[in-house]
Structure formats: structure tokens, C-alpha cells
Amino acid sequence: MNIIFPSSMENVNEVDTVYKEEYVAASRIKNLNVFLFDYSEWFFNKKIQLNKGTSEAKEICIHRGWMFKPNEYKIFYHELADKNLQLLTAPAQYNRMHEFPLIYPKVAENTPRIKTYAFNERINIKELQKIFARFLVKDYVKSVKNTSFPKFFDQKTSQTDFDNWMKVFYKYRSDLLTGGICIKEYVDLKKYADHTNEWRVFYFHGNPFIILPNSGQSKEAPSVPQALVDKYSNLESPFYTIDYGEETNGQWIIIETGDGGVSGLPDNTNVNKFYKGLFRD
């Protein structure tokens, strides 16, 4: 098996500092070949330059690094294939887990309702207010947390105010806009010591091999029920994540899904344990 990380912008032979701990942990795994790709060359030219040569035969490769837009991932996939590194996750599989509305039909039973719109389509606030008591705005991948943008809109929101806020949303997401606009029902999550109770589960070939606290919650916070974790262990991708959250009423929901290669490890993750679980014998 092979794994590939982004290099620093300055040196193809040095891993990006964000992924240094993961790179070191992966390098300790027996029979795992670890590559770096020149992130500067990729960022500016969308070309892959590796820090070392590859096999003459095509071999499977896992990526751990920054998010790609779907069209970028497709280029990345084919650039590596030309160098005989076949990414484990195909472009269609990446897209399905990366853009939440694509996987929504598979998880709708256990996630808040959504409604989608094309970019720049004017959204009728009255229509949304008939469906949702409260709702948040994101594109198919991300919201704009930790900004001035409202956490949610409700029955008091006017069309004029909403239109103005959507201009702000487009400005914040800018070149990162992906897929379309996703309106999502807003729900309250249960808190423990002022931290919401959220968990990130990594799945590899249908196996939920690690369940990680994802919101800095205290140890007293209960983990996501195993039955719910197991229910979504086969979502048509070999390597993906699901974020789960506990509502204030004690019910558990799916918050987000993601590709396993670009989903970050929560703070305080035992990185060695993660890689031993990922590449277990």
C-alpha cells in the first residue's frame, strides 16, 4: 500500500507542517510506502511532482491532505494514475461523500432535512419558512462558521435581510464555493461543559475503525451509539467519514459526511493509533 501527503510550499522533500505528525506515524507502518507531492506545483499549475520514483506497475494509493474541489480531485486522480499510483477512492466516490446533498438520500432517515438551490438563484424566504422553523445556509461542502454570518435564520427573517446576507455568504466562500446552495434544518446539539457532543467516525472498507470526539467535549459526554455507526458502514466509498451529533433531546443525528482522505483528525487524536487502525494487518 502507498500513501501520499502534500509537501510544504517551499520544499518537495518536506511534508506540510500540518501533516507532519501523520507523516511520521505513517512512516512507522511496515510495508507502507510514503510519498510527498510538491504542493506548490500542484497549487499553481495542477501538476504532480513526487519526491521519489514509483513502481513500473500500478499500485493502490491513499491520499491524506487538503480538500479538493471535485474537478480538482479528478485531475489529481488522473495525474497520479499517470505515475502508476491509483488512488483508492475514485472521483465519483470522492464527490458523493464530499458534497453532502449527493449522499443525503442514503442518510436522510438520520439527518436534518435539506433543500438545494443553484448558485445565484434567488431563494424565497417564505417558502423556506413554511418548511423549516430554523435553517442554516452552506454550499454543498461548507458553511461559514466563525464569521459574522448568522448561525441560522428563522421566522423573523425578512426577504430583504436574507438577500443581503446571501451576498455576504458568497463573499465569504468566494472561490471555495462548491456544488450549489444547501439549506439545512437547524437543530440544537446537547452540550457538556459548554461543548457540543460531536463525534467523527472514520470508515475504511466498511469498517468503522476509529471513533473520535470532534468538539472538545468532556469525557463524560456519551459516544455515538454503535448501532448507528454500524448502520452507515457501507456508503459506496472505500474511505470516508461521518460526523454524528447528540441533540438536546438525546437523539443522534448525522451532521456531515466527508472523504476520508481530506477529513481532518480532531484535536488530541492519537495519531499512531489512527494509522495502526487504518493499516491493520
Q: What is the pLDDT of residues 243-259, one digit of tens each?
A: 999 999 999 999 999 99
- Contacts of residue 108, defined as CB under 8 A and 6 or more positions apart, other chains included, come to none
DSSP calls for 208-243: EEEEEE-S---TTSPPPPHHHHHHTS-SS-SEEEEE
Bridge partners of 254, per DSSP, are: 244
Mean pLDDT of 186-211: 97
Model confidence band, residue 279 (pLDDT cutoffs 50, 70, 90) = very high
pLDDT tens-digit map of 159-184: 999 999 999 999 999 999 999 999 99
φ, ψ for residue 218, nearest 5 deg? -75, 165
- Answer yes or no: is pLDDT of 80 > 80: yes
Check: CB of residue 7 under 8 Å from CB of residue 42: no
Residue with cell 505513517: 26
Q: Which three cell numbers stand for residue 126?
A: 417564505
Bridge partners of 72, per DSSP, are: none
| pLDDT at position 280 | 81
Bridge partners of 252, per DSSP, are: 246
pTM for the complete prediction? 0.95
Residue 247: C-alpha distances to residues 109, 205, 215 (Å): 15, 29, 14
- Contacts of residue 12, defined as CB under 8 A and 6 or more positions apart, other chains included, come to 36, 37, 38, 40, 41, 49, 50, 51
| pLDDT at position 245 | 98
Under DSSP, the state recorded for 15 is B
What would you report as the CA-atom Rg of the chain, rounded to the nearest whole angstrom? 20
Instruction: Measure the CA angle with vertex 229, ends 224 and 234; round to 5°.
Output: 160
The closest of 154, 252, 127, 271 to 210, measured between CA atoms, is: 271
Mean pLDDT over all residues of the chain?
96
